[in-house]
Structure 1
Amino acid sequence: MSKPIRWGVLGAANFAKQHMARAIHAAEGAQLVALATSDPAKAVGFQAFCPELEVETDYDALLARDDIDAIYAPLPNHIHVEWTLKAMRAGKHVLTEKPIAMTASQVDDLIALRDETGLLCAEAYMIVHHPQWARAKQLLSDGAIGDVIHVETVFSYSNSDMDNIRNRPETGGGSIRDIGVYTYGAARWATGQEPREITHTNIRYENEVDVTAEINAQFDTFSYHALTSMRMCPAQSIRFHGTTGVLTVETPFNANLFGPTRLHVADMSNNEVVEHFSGANHYVNQVQNFCTTVRAGQGAHKDYPWTLENARGTQDMIDRIFAADKR
């Protein structure tokens, strides 16, 4: 049996404690070894489910450890690139939370170092590791709804805590960077198409952070509309409207947490087929896919479900949306 990929977590973020560190601990072929945090008290919640977890009080000390193969980085958005580059230069494979960069050009730096070192570097875009999304992509490719004519998607939640990093401009906050990566990236990944033009933006700001963003775009064959908000009642959905049917992905982004994971395919006569995907954990799947790709060696990143090139495409769309905004 192959040795496990040994992981270190860079920062004691609540999201890491609730989801990703647990996923690393649970994933087959992975071993959660150490956590770096300037406040050791924050490690207690991690050690509750992983008692053997070691704690470093310095990020660089974690990167210097010889018993760490891979780093998971759930840091504030504005320092993702800095620490991803540092981790790769320390010889570690890196899985960094989304958005992995603040601009598309920064992703180019990550791609260059990945290619130079042969290390796996990826954005933690977990939804593509869920079977409901693999199935949705297959259905669209197979023409289950004919040609895609329009895509409609919504992702919202309520967060008015102005001390939260999502509400602070200096940490790269805002709904577009936080959840637009899902609404934009899901449409791109599932259809294999890229936006030709951002045709409309309606973005509302508070404290120089976009709190609600409505955008329209034109892809090769379909029109696109997305709404993201950090000031609305929680909701999430995505619908692909085709010439012969409609595909709806239920709970597309927070699988099993927000609601049930189901696909609905309706035809011209309004007959509907529903497929269920309960039980799958996309965080665990993501870790397992990452570990499998690491073991496959240099060049295997091309087969990873969400490459840096995929992440760059979404970041390029985000850059273009901000550039198109006429506030």
Structure 2
Amino acid sequence: MNSGPLRIGVLGCADIAWRRALPALAAHPDVRLTAIASRDPAKAARFVERFGGEPVHGYEALLDRADVDAVYVPLPVHLHAEWVGRALRSGRHVLAEKPLTASAVETEALVALAASRGLALLENFMFLCHSQHARIRDLVAEGVIGEPRTLTAEFAFPPSADGRNLYDPGLGGGALAEVGVYPLRAALLHLGSALDVLGVHLRVDEARGVDVAGAALLADPSGRTAHLTWGVEHAYRSRYALWGSAGRAELTWAFTPSAAHRPVVRIERQDHVEELTLPAEDHFASAVGSFVDRVRDGVPSVLEGEAVVEQARLVDRVRRHAADAGGPVRPAVPTSAGSPGTS
């Protein structure tokens, strides 16, 4: 690999890349954006004008370049398995927007492919890189809330009229894939992977053909539960709380805090209420830093490996449970290229 800055190419010109990910990548001192690819040359040119690098017409052309050590993939989810797989097979490290793929089978194959080739593959669940979640885990370990019994998590926002992939079933849209994955990942983070799905409801917008809201009840073998709610037809809400035998700890802006936000952890116990104000932090910058550290120095990341597979399996179980219960839920969108394979 080049001994200078990590040379990153971008596959796709998505809104999340323009607003949050590329500013964080461009600002990292050990990153150089060398090329940005789009199927629309005008889009690539517009992105390059702001962030630097060279515009590239088509994703394959970017992977043919010699000046790309790693790629960032903000493509619609139905294209992830194909292009993340191609990038890995070309010898590039990958940072991909969540969800990594539309199914656990595809996710398992990509994670195995990356491991077999000694490459970094990170799923950009950037909220996990914010230190506020580590603070919650420390408080639990210190016994501040006693034995954890229940996690409640909610993430929702109002309807959007901008025609994003969220509302397109052919592009892997829907509230579960776009929004519900955040409360699910919070449950895995704090309660572990041995979660059984006890109940699910997904509400489908029949006109659009996508799920727009959902709720799930999970439990682990010890009886700890997770009560999760999400949607794209609500007033904004982004929080979770851990409720234990001796108290409760809550984050009030858990999943999408701004870089200027100083998180507040609210602790409630029988004899007092306390609020801890934490330092502001840009979790997009933290996720980029985690990717660079993983590629450069092999530093393990919360965004990679078995945790990514466990998340995909849990999403699949939630989707199957909704279908088995007779709910009007569509299956995950298959990719046009099939399994990413390991060749």
TM-score by length of 2: 0.88
Structure 1 equivalent of residue 320 of structure 2: 323
SS in 2 for 1:231: coil
Return the alpha-carbon distance in structure 2 between the equivalents of residues 315 and 211 of structure 1. 19
Structure 2 equivalent of residue 146 of structure 1: 146
SS in 1 for 2:9: strand
Return the alpha-carbon distance in structure 2 between the equivalents of residues 245 and 258 of structure 1. 29
Alignment map for 1:22-61 (pairs within 5 Å) = 22-50=23-51, 52-61=52-61
SS in 2 for 1:226: strand
Alignment map for 1:20-169 (pairs within 5 Å) = 20-50=21-51, 52-161=52-161, 163-169=163-169
Return the alpha-carbon distance in structure 2 between the equivalents of residues 305 and 190 of structure 1. 13
Return the alpha-carbon distance in structure 2 between the equivalents of residues 263 and 40 of structure 1. 46
Return the alpha-carbon distance in structure 1 between the equivalents of residues 93 and 241 of structure 2. 35
Q: CA shift at 1:34, angstroms? A: 1.1
Structure 1 equivalent of residue 254 of structure 2: 252
The equivalent position to 2:301 in structure 1, one of 289, 300, 304, is 304
SS in 2 for 1:233: coil
Question: How big is each residue's C-alpha offset from its partner over 1:26-53, in whole Å with a ceiling of 9 and x where there is no partner?
Answer: 1131111210012232235433542x32
Structure 2 equivalent of residue 211 of structure 1: 212
Structure 1 equivalent of residue 340 of structure 2: none
SS in 2 for 1:72: strand
Q: CA shift at 1:127, angstroms? A: 1.1
Cα distance change of structure 1 residues 44 and 144 upon mapping to structure 2, 3 Å threshold: farther
Residue pair 1:195, 1:217 contacting (<8 A) in 2 also? no
Residue pair 1:17, 1:45 contacting (<8 A) in 2 also? no
Residue pair 1:30, 1:288 contacting (<8 A) in 2 also? no
Cα distance change of structure 1 residues 26 and 258 upon mapping to structure 2, 3 Å threshold: closer
Cα distance change of structure 1 residues 126 and 276 upon mapping to structure 2, 3 Å threshold: same
Return the alpha-carbon distance in structure 1 between the equivalents of residues 156 and 14 of structure 2. 21
SS in 2 for 1:176: helix
SS in 2 for 1:255: coil
Structure 2 equivalent of residue 268 of structure 1: 270
SS in 2 for 1:62: helix
Return the alpha-carbon distance in structure 1 between the equivalents of residues 141 and 221 of structure 2. 15
Q: Which amino acid aligns with 1:70?
A: A
Return the alpha-carbon distance in structure 2 between the equivalents of residues 250 and 3 of structure 1. 40
Residue pair 2:96, 2:123 contacting (<8 A) in 1 also? yes
Q: Which amino acid aligns with 2:152?
A: E
Q: Which amino acid aligns with 1:312?
A: V
Structure 2 equivalent of residue 287 of structure 1: 288
Return the alpha-carbon distance in structure 1 between the equivalents of residues 314 and 290 of structure 2. 26
SS in 2 for 1:158: coil
Question: How big is each residue's C-alpha offset from its partner over 1:132-185, in whole Å with a ceiling of 9 and x where there is no partner?
Answer: 122122222332211111111111112354843111111111111111221110
Structure 2 equivalent of residue 4 of structure 1: 5
Structure 1 equivalent of residue 239 of structure 2: 237
Q: Aligned residues, how many?
A: 320
SS in 1 for 2:67: coil
Residue pair 2:259, 2:283 contacting (<8 A) in 1 also? no
The equivalent position to 1:224 in structure 2, one of 226, 243, 256, is 226
Moved over 6 A (4+): none
Cα distance change of structure 1 residues 214 and 287 upon mapping to structure 2, 3 Å threshold: same
Residue pair 2:126, 2:287 contacting (<8 A) in 1 also? yes
- Report sequence identity in percent: 29
Return the alpha-carbon distance in structure 2 between the equivalents of residues 39 and 171 of structure 1. 18
Q: Which amino acid aligns with 1:218?
A: A
Return the alpha-carbon distance in structure 1 between the equivalents of residues 162 and 318 of structure 2. 24
The farther-off stretch of 259-268 and 10-19 is: 259-268
For structure 1, the residue ranges without an aligned partner over 5 or more in a row are none
Q: Alpha carbon RMSD of aligned pairs, Å?
A: 2.0
Cα distance change of structure 1 residues 49 and 140 upon mapping to structure 2, 3 Å threshold: farther
Cα distance change of structure 1 residues 211 and 129 upon mapping to structure 2, 3 Å threshold: same
TM-score by length of 1: 0.92
Q: CA shift at 1:189, angstroms? A: 1.3
Return the alpha-carbon distance in structure 2 between the equivalents of residues 61 and 43 of structure 1. 13
Q: CA shift at 1:55, angstroms? A: 0.5
